[in-house]
Copies of this chain bind each other. A is one copy, B any other.
Amino acid sequence: MMHNDRNENETAKSLDIVANNIYHGTQDHMDGAWQAEQSDFARSLNHSNFLVTETNAQTLGWDSAGQFPPYDGQMRLDVYSYLASGANMVEYWHWHSIHAGQETYWKGVLSHDLEPNRAYAEVSKTAHELQKIGPQLVDLKIKNQVAILYSVDSDNGINFMPYERDGERGWTPGKAGDSYGNQIVQLHRSLYNANVGADFVFPDTANLAEQLSPYKLLIVPSLYVADDALLKTISDYVQNGGHVLMTFKSGFTNENSAVRWQRAPGPLREAAGFNYQEFSNLEHPLALKGDPYHTGDKNQVSDWAEFLQLEHAQALAYYDHPFFGKWPAITRNHYGSGELTYEGTQLSDTLQSKIVLEALKSAGLTTPDQQLPSAVHVKHGTNRDGKQLHYYLNYSSDEQTIQYPYAAGKDLLTDATIAANQQITLKPWDLAIVEEVK
């Protein structure tokens, strides 16, 4: 998914139900972020539940150099991660390991010996649980207040004229060298770190303005390729009270990837509250002057710096550099009854999480979910009985304790009663699914 030689949103229009093959990191690389992003993406295409038609069984690989079987509990946690994001089915590639050929080491639930094993035991346990509680989990309805605008044209346009040479930041399977994809990963992960769910929205949607209106916050990664109408839709969204968090290069080229011959950022200039004529790559990462977000050695921006000339916007942060320091790195502009926050440079993951959190606060979107331990993630939805579900998932090898802030309910996995504000202890790679009593 999100490959840049296809247009998923266009494809989805001819599908009855969307499916996604989601392969992710395991062992010390499983934190649920990739599962969440890919699930949010799949669910957003046709605005409904989806299928996971392939995911990690024991190990992946077209050789035997990338074999990383999951730790105990990870396969089960994986299934519930998908269900908590709206999946209606999880299927493995594949049932048993193949004895020859290219995918000899793309191992199934069973090993080559075709006997029960550790993976089989865990899949079996999970399946028996689902046999019991599946009807209370399936068809989960998820309602988010944050959207991410995903532009496949911008991905293509930036890949044609990339602003970084080797691209990769962090662990993003199958996305090597894809700067736009890495921005999507970083921004979605910033929301995920804050336990805020997100939908994806797409430029090539007939009623985009209407679709945007219920969202409180719209995140716009480098919208490099866009026609005037799309930029006007975003401006109007701000003017009508929406909050936008937008990153550099947005609005720079038109729908044909030709640079606009107006002052940048073109039709976004009013809403953004600045203009620029120049930009520079950053040969070395720079600090933001005065460490304004208290991020210590993560106070780093890199790769790109637009020389933003303020008109109505205010500067939130400046570069700590004799030359680049003349221009702000991050700005905010009040426009109509909304506001637009703009990042003229690539933020470190830590800075990005801070800015996203600030934008969430500004949009009135903070909840107790931001107080959870970093290894625990929560997802919410409404099941077929109209009851509220809260999944608490522990992505770590350590036991974690959380305080449950919602209405009283019971843990569907254990049948234990859960009172409001009660403490819940989660074993390593384990979870609780609280169904509110109502």
Contact = CB atoms under 8 A, between A and B. Distances in A.
Contacts of A99: 258-261
A380 to B, nearest CB: 31
A68 to B, nearest CB: 6
Interface in A177-212: none
Interface in A310-355: 322-323
Interface in A18-74: 27-28, 58-59, 63-69, 71-72
Contacts of A215: none
Contacts of A104: 161, 259
A342 to B, nearest CB: 18
Contact of A69 (B72, B162, B261, B278): B278
B63 A161 contact: yes
Interface stretch (A105-113, A287-295, A400-408): A105-113
Interface in A246-289: 256-264, 277-281, 283
B67 A281 contact: yes
A325 B163 CA distance: 44
Contacts of A69: 278-280
B322 A259 contact: no
Contact of A117 (B68, B115, B256, B277): B277
B105 A277 contact: no
Given A69-B278, A278-B69, A112 B64 contact: no
Contacts of A72: 323
A398 to B, nearest CB: 10
Contacts of A119: 278
Interface in A89-131: 97, 99-100, 104-105, 111-115, 117-119
Contacts of A280: 27, 59, 67-69
A278 B58 contact: yes
Contacts of A438: none
A65 B281 contact: yes
Contacts of A283: 27-28, 68
Contact of A64 (B163, B257, B261): B163
B161 A105 contact: yes
A164 interface: yes
Contacts of A145: none
A153 to B, nearest CB: 14
Interface of A: 27-28, 58-59, 63-69, 71-72, 97, 99-100, 104-105, 111-115, 117-119, 161-165, 256-264, 277-281, 283, 304, 322-323, 397
A162 B64 contact: yes
A262 B115 CA distance: 9
A309 to B, nearest CB: 10
Contacts of A71: 323
A250 to B, nearest CB: 14
A69 B279 CA distance: 8
Contact of A397 (B28, B64, B264, B322): B322
Given A67-B281, A69-B278, A281-B68, A260 B112 contact: yes
- List of 8 A-B pairs having minimum Cβ-Cβ separation, nearest first: A100-B258, A112-B259, A113-B263, A64-B163, A117-B277, A99-B259, A111-B277, A67-B281
A27 B324 CA distance: 11
A165 B99 CA distance: 22
B263 A97 contact: no
Most chain-B CB neighbours within 10 Å: which of A163, A281, A397? Answer: A281
B113 A261 contact: yes
A112 B254 CA distance: 13
Contacts of A114: 261
A111 to B, nearest CB: 5
A113 B64 contact: no
Given A58-B278, A161-B105, A283-B27, A262 B68 contact: no
Contacts of A165: 63, 65
A269 B69 CA distance: 23
Contacts of A115: 263, 277
A173 B160 CA distance: 23
